Amino acid sequence: MGAGRTYRMGRIFGADGRTLILPVDHGLTLGRIEGLEDPVARVDGLLELPCDGLLMTPGLTRMTADRFARRDAPARLLTLDTFFRLPGESSAGTGLAGSVEQAARLGVDCLKLFMAWNVPSGERAATLARITEVVRRAEEFDLPVMLEPIAVGEERTAGAIAVEADGARAALEVGADIIKVAYPGPELMAAWAAELRVPLVILGGPRSGEADAVLTLAEEAVAHGARGIVIGRNVWQRPPDVTLRLMRRLHEIVHP
Amino acid sequence: MGAGRTYRMGRIFGADGRTLILPVDHGLTLGRIEGLEDPVARVDGLLELPCDGLLMTPGLTRMTADRFARRDAPARLLTLDTFFRLPGESSAGTGLAGSVEQAARLGVDCLKLFMAWNVPSGERAATLARITEVVRRAEEFDLPVMLEPIAVGEERTAGAIAVEADGARAALEVGADIIKVAYPGPELMAAWAAELRVPLVILGGPRSGEADAVLTLAEEAVAHGARGIVIGRNVWQRPPDVTLRLMRRLHEIVHP
Amino acid sequence: MGAGRTYRMGRIFGADGRTLILPVDHGLTLGRIEGLEDPVARVDGLLELPCDGLLMTPGLTRMTADRFARRDAPARLLTLDTFFRLPGESSAGTGLAGSVEQAARLGVDCLKLFMAWNVPSGERAATLARITEVVRRAEEFDLPVMLEPIAVGEERTAGAIAVEADGARAALEVGADIIKVAYPGPELMAAWAAELRVPLVILGGPRSGEADAVLTLAEEAVAHGARGIVIGRNVWQRPPDVTLRLMRRLHEIVHP
Amino acid sequence: MGAGRTYRMGRIFGADGRTLILPVDHGLTLGRIEGLEDPVARVDGLLELPCDGLLMTPGLTRMTADRFARRDAPARLLTLDTFFRLPGESSAGTGLAGSVEQAARLGVDCLKLFMAWNVPSGERAATLARITEVVRRAEEFDLPVMLEPIAVGEERTAGAIAVEADGARAALEVGADIIKVAYPGPELMAAWAAELRVPLVILGGPRSGEADAVLTLAEEAVAHGARGIVIGRNVWQRPPDVTLRLMRRLHEIVHP
Amino acid sequence: MGAGRTYRMGRIFGADGRTLILPVDHGLTLGRIEGLEDPVARVDGLLELPCDGLLMTPGLTRMTADRFARRDAPARLLTLDTFFRLPGESSAGTGLAGSVEQAARLGVDCLKLFMAWNVPSGERAATLARITEVVRRAEEFDLPVMLEPIAVGEERTAGAIAVEADGARAALEVGADIIKVAYPGPELMAAWAAELRVPLVILGGPRSGEADAVLTLAEEAVAHGARGIVIGRNVWQRPPDVTLRLMRRLHEIVHP
């Protein structure tokens, strides 16, 4: 691993190799969603919580640059692409929403790209080709790349998880430094962590069920090899006191 | 914010952070419309009115360069793209109509791009990818970018405004320095202004209703956080004396 | 206007600001048409007639370079694109047929591009995007650009002329230095000339009707503000003595 | 003509301005066809016959470079593109199969590109756009370009020949240095040779009829202005003694 | 052959011009398949077996770089593209999954690209155009290119083999340094080896039939001119002792 990547991965994963990341990049594709209407205020609020990194788009990263202009601030990970699919559409709209040069100028620690994997073969290949070009450029700046293979909009059946296993594997093969996955259950979590070897981080997904369910998920995931949690709506779409409690517990789970 | 952007934003928004911009870029997509048949003459006329900036295409900007070759001239904002959709067409035609290099050579203060947002996902993603590339290049010249998310051709329902809220948010996330929106009503105006934090400017749209309605709109918008008005047809498609009166009043409203 | 453009526009429009241009670029899209089977011989013949410039493709320009290698030769304008549409086809085939670099190497005085404007929105936007890229490169060499907005294959109704008015306006807005139009009648001719301000030149179109009709058209057009005539088939698809007579008269009309 | 092009055209056309070229590039699009299963052996065999140049793909050119590494070897012309169309397909597959940089590195004397001309307008325009880009790059290296306009798979009717006449003309207009055509009959041959002025060379096409028919074709073509013959299958898909006899006669016909 | 290519081909084919290559690149397109769930562990296991090279994707190559950081390690060949086709899809998804620059940085000895050849003409041409661009860049680094023409998903009929013969030939013509084919039977093997002249290596394909069948195939292929075997699933999807025995025998067959 190059010196730049070593430095940046260290900023994200810290001394114990674990990370708790807060995504606040939803506005790009989901628009003005509940709890994130005011993204800068949300960032300001989240910065008071214990966390290791924030996942943001280029615009929000630029707007909040001053908040991170200190040595002990959380890392910043940059969302670099879009994924749109309206109800009834047979194909999705995807593309870049930022550039590697922007990332380098902004001084972020990682790039994040999406891999919808339950899609037609043409979309799969186009997604990898787009990612490949980003990886090529990222290597020039020694920037780590996080990829996120997802069976979009599917129920969590064994079939959907198998599609994501294939996507995670493709992510590894094109050069992912970090892979962000939906929690596949304890056995597969352990298997994937052992097999893929790059850090796997678990996504929180949309708010659902009881607040404490996310803690169970995080504990289980970390116990079976997850190197971190990337959790947004399931945390910050709760009342502030719940959010605070959840983050403290998550931080304890990730960094015991 | 870089020095170049600070300088240019200052030229557009002045000491009080407010701006009154006159768009005269309609010929590119609408052709030879009423009141703008002779764009240079129109620019000459508008330059006698109180305003802070003109929004023009590359061609018109070049043709009128001498009118602005003085230190107290209004700022110039450059329209950089097209949006065509004929009656009955299921998809629009969009693309660049100018380049960042032209903008830099012309010495304009801002780039303006359109975001039709009530469109299929493929068009959304393509629009953002095109904008992303412009933003990347604009950063090299430290040129501000204004984005304009619109639910094209839709009635002003709550649904259409919500689509525009999502578009405004996407605009922010890809790095807009200024966002141009249709006035969403007082409450959302205040909310968006607070949330998005970059200057929001209000578009005037096609001439409609009584001349004074635009004054009410401007007053209301500014009172609720709009940082400026971008108003063309609704002003200059009126008789000259009405246009003059409206502009004087708008200037007072924007710069009280 | 840059020094290079000033120089080249002066070569095309001369001291009186008027020009008579002979197009011999038809072979690229129409093939081996009557009267232009032998394009070099045709150029040689035309060079004996009074005229200010020839419109040619890159290939013909290169082949005839020696004919123009003297200080008092006519200007050369370079056709840079194609437009194909076979009977029954619902969309046209368009694209570049030459490059700005070639133009610079050949030493021509102007680039000419076509704008079919009675086409679907997607084709309109693609045409402008292609032109925009050429304009960007042409600016680097300070080469003038002539654009030609046409309602292809339509009868000369008011509707078709209005489409061309819109196209001429779009041409202006993307940076045309010269606009080539079909003669729209005296009133619109005068209006467009006044409004668009860049030199408008009138196309001759396919041979039709009496030979002298073209003289009437030229007289009327010039009397109402046209800055020149671009006339090919309607002149050189006539018997040689008619061609010679027409060109002499046209030259007198353009340069009285 | 630049010094590089003068030098290379001289290598192809020799002192008498005539050329006999052997194409062995069929494997790229036709695969392992009869008589060319072993292309290097075929090249070795052909090098013993009297000829002025070989037409080969990048791969074969590289593999046989040592055979041509002497001062009196035939010229090499490089096939740079593909044309695939399977039975029943409504559109063809075309694209580059080599680059101008490769050609420059290989030291070949000419580039050869195909122009299927009895195709939809979109394919025509795309073909010319691709050729235009090659021509632009070829000019930087002063490499001649041979274009080959063909009414693919059509019977040799007057209509098909007229399509090829149009294609040959388009080839000229985009800058062909040499045009390769199917023999159009004595009158058109003479007309095209006189009109197009760049060297026209005649293709042999697939093996057909009596061996001596190709001699008659060559004699007739050369007698009416063809500057050379490009003949492959119709010669080397014959028994060796026939091939040898044909080549000797063709050489006498081309260089009497 | 350039010095870089000579050096790298020597690393792959050794003193006797033969090679035994283990592909472990399946994860990119096939996902988490049996026997390759943990690719790094698989590589570690394979490195204990006698072999001359491993075929890996960019991601896996980077992750295992330390295993090869010694002078007597096997060569590494880089898989550079994807091929996806889900059941029921009429067209495949293909594209790059790595770049020539990455390959040069990684220090691999060869690039490998896929050529699905029983596909529509448009896909054929697009595949060759993509390969052509890779070949152009690979030449700048003097990196060998292995191409793999396959009639995907077809039974091994004479027709399918003929399609692959055509594909192998096209591979040669665009500049393949090594061609990877499915074993076509003894006679065609001998013919292709003699005709194509670049080293042909035989693919093992999916596990099928008796373990020893692959030995028969390898013996037969090598006896008839194959310069190597590229065998993965058919070897490492067996029990470890079978894998070891097969590899020892294959090594003896390839390097007798």
Q: Considering only residues 14 to 43 of chain C, which have any Cβ-Cβ distance to chain D shorter than 8 Å?
A: 25, 27-32, 37-41
Distance CA C123, CA C115 (A): 10
Unique residue bearing structure tokens 């790349």 = A145
Distance CA C23, CA C36 (A): 11
Distance, C-alpha E229 to centroid of its chain: 8
Q: What's the mean pLDDT in B36-44?
A: 96
Please indicate if any CB of chain D lies within 8 Å of the CB of E175: yes
ipTM of the complex: 0.94
User: Are B60 and B39 spatial neighbours (Cβ–Cβ below 8 Å)?
Assistant: yes
Count CA atoms within 13 Å of residue D51 on its CB side: 31
Nearest CA in chain B to C176: B59
Residue E73's pLDDT band (cuts 50, 70, 90): very high
- Enumerate the residues of chain A whose CB falls inside 8 A of the CB of residue E86: 120-121
Please indicate if any CB of chain D lies within 8 Å of the CB of E187: no
Please indicate if any CB of chain C lies within 8 Å of the CB of D175: yes
CB pair distance less than 8 Å for E63 and A132: no
Please indicate if any CB of chain B lies within 8 Å of the CB of A59: yes
The pLDDT tens digits for A105-116 are 999 999 999 999
Residue E229's pLDDT band (cuts 50, 70, 90): very high
Burial (CB count <10 Å: 0-12, 13-18, 19+), residue D16: exposed
* pLDDT beyond 80 at B46: yes
Q: Give the 3-state secondary structure percentages of chain B, helix then strand then coil, rounded to 5.
A: 45, 20, 35
Structure tokens at D254: 């081309």
Query: Between chain C and chain D, how many beta carbons pairs sit less than 8 Å apart?
Result: 106
CA angle D173, D178, D183 (to 5 degrees): 100
Instruction: Nearest by CB to A120, from E28, E93, E95: name it.
Output: E93
Distance CA A200, CA A194 (A): 10
CB pair distance less than 8 Å for D41 and E195: yes
Q: Which of C67, C186, C178, C171 is nearest to C127 (CA)?
A: C171
Which residues touch E116 (CB under 8 Å, ≥6 apart)? E83, E92, E94, E123, E127, E150, E152
Please indicate if any CB of chain E lies within 8 Å of the CB of D213: no
User: Quick one: what percent of chain E has pLDDT higher than 90?
Assistant: 91
The three-state secondary structure class of A187 is helix
Please indicate if any CB of chain B lies within 8 Å of the CB of C92: no
CB pair distance less than 8 Å for C39 and D174: no
Nearest CA in chain C to B34: C166
* pLDDT beyond 90 at A78: yes
Q: Which chains touch B (3 or more CB pairs under 8 A)?
A: A, C
Distance CA A171, CA A156 (A): 20
Nearest CA in chain B to C118: B86
- Enumerate the residues of chain A whose CB falls inside 8 A of the CB of residue E99: 132-133, 135-136
Residue A204's pLDDT band (cuts 50, 70, 90): confident
CB pair distance less than 8 Å for E84 and A125: yes
- Enumerate the residues of chain E whose CB falls inside 8 A of the CB of residue A170: 27-29, 31
Nearest CA in chain E to A162: E32
Which residues touch A199 (CB under 8 Å, ≥6 apart)? A13, A17, A19, A177, A178, A179, A227, A228
The three-state secondary structure class of B202 is strand
The pLDDT tens digits for E198-221 are 999 999 877 777 888 899 999 999
Which residues touch E178 (CB under 8 Å, ≥6 apart)? E12, E110, E144, E145, E146, E147, E198, E199, E200, E201
Chunked mean pLDDT (size 10), chain C, 256 residues = 90 95 96 95 94 97 96 96 94 96 96 97 97 96 97 95 97 98 96 97 82 91 97 91 94 95
- Enumerate the residues of chain E whose CB falls inside 8 A of the CB of residue D55: none
Distance CA E224, CA E193 (A): 8
CB pair distance less than 8 Å for D136 and C101: yes
Distance, C-alpha D152 to centroid of its chain: 15
Please indicate if any CB of chain D lies within 8 Å of the CB of C64: no
The secondary structure of E67-80 as a DSSP string is: GG-STTSPEEEEE-
Instruction: Nearest by CB to E132, from D84, D93, D97: name it.
Output: D97
Distance CA B107, CA D58 (A): 47
* pLDDT beyond 80 at A60: yes
Distance CA C231, CA C237 (A): 11
Residue A49's pLDDT band (cuts 50, 70, 90): very high
The pLDDT tens digits for E121-153 are 999 999 999 999 999 999 999 999 999 999 999
Q: What's the mean pLDDT in A27-54?
A: 95
Q: Which residue has the higher pLDDT, C207 or E120?
A: E120
Residue B211's pLDDT band (cuts 50, 70, 90): confident
CB pair distance less than 8 Å for A173 and E60: yes
pLDDT at residue D104, rounded to an integer: 95
Let me know how many helices (H) and strands (E) chain D has, helices first.
11, 10
- Enumerate the residues of chain B whose CB falls inside 8 A of the CB of residue C168: 32
CB pair distance less than 8 Å for C121 and B25: no
Residue B199 DSSP symbol: P
Distance CA A36, CA A41 (A): 9
Q: What's the mean pLDDT in B110-133?
A: 97
Residue D66 DSSP symbol: G
pLDDT at residue C211, rounded to an integer: 81
* pLDDT beyond 80 at B205: no
B to C contact (≥3 Cβ pairs closer than 8 Å): yes
Give the H or E element holding residue A188: helix A186-196
* pLDDT beyond 80 at D207: no
Residue D184's pLDDT band (cuts 50, 70, 90): very high
- Which of A140, A161, A169, A188 best probes binding to E when mutated, by most E CB atoms within 10 angstroms? A169
Nearest-CA distance C153 → chain D (Å)? 16
User: Quick one: what percent of chain D has pLDDT higher than 70?
Assistant: 100
Instruction: Nearest by CB to E97, from A132, A166, A168: name it.
Output: A132
Please indicate if any CB of chain C lies within 8 Å of the CB of D239: no
Which has the minimum average pLDDT: A138-152, A193-207, B160-174? A193-207
The three-state secondary structure class of C179 is strand
Residue A143 DSSP symbol: -
By DSSP bridging, strand B75-79 and strand B53-56 are parallel
Partners of B11 in the beta sheet? none
Distance CA B156, CA B203 (A): 13
Dihedral in degrees, nearest 10, Cα atoms A206, A212, A213, A217: 100
Q: Which chains touch D (3 or more CB pairs under 8 A)?
A: C, E
Alpha helices in D115-224 (DSSP H): 121-141, 158-173, 186-196, 213-223
The secondary structure of C185-235 as a DSSP string is: -HHHHHHHHHHH-SPEEEE--S--S-TTHHHHHHHHHHHTT--EEE--HHH
* pLDDT beyond 80 at A32: yes
pLDDT at residue B204, rounded to an integer: 84
Residue D220's pLDDT band (cuts 50, 70, 90): very high
pLDDT at residue E209, rounded to an integer: 75
Which residues touch E15 (CB under 8 Å, ≥6 apart)? none
Residue D139's pLDDT band (cuts 50, 70, 90): very high
Global pTM reads: 0.95
The pLDDT tens digits for B143-179 are 999 999 999 999 999 999 999 999 999 999 999 999 9
CB pair distance less than 8 Å for A93 and B120: yes
- Enumerate the residues of chain B whose CB falls inside 8 A of the CB of residue C122: 84, 91-93
C184-187 long-range Cβ contacts below 8 angstroms, 24+ apart? C185/C161, C186/C220, C186/C223, C186/C224, C187/C224
User: Quick one: what percent of chain A has pLDDT higher than 90?
Assistant: 91
Please indicate if any CB of chain C lies within 8 Å of the CB of B120: no
pLDDT at residue D211, rounded to an integer: 81
Dihedral in degrees, nearest 10, Cα atoms E237, E241, E242, E245: 130
* pLDDT beyond 90 at D40: yes
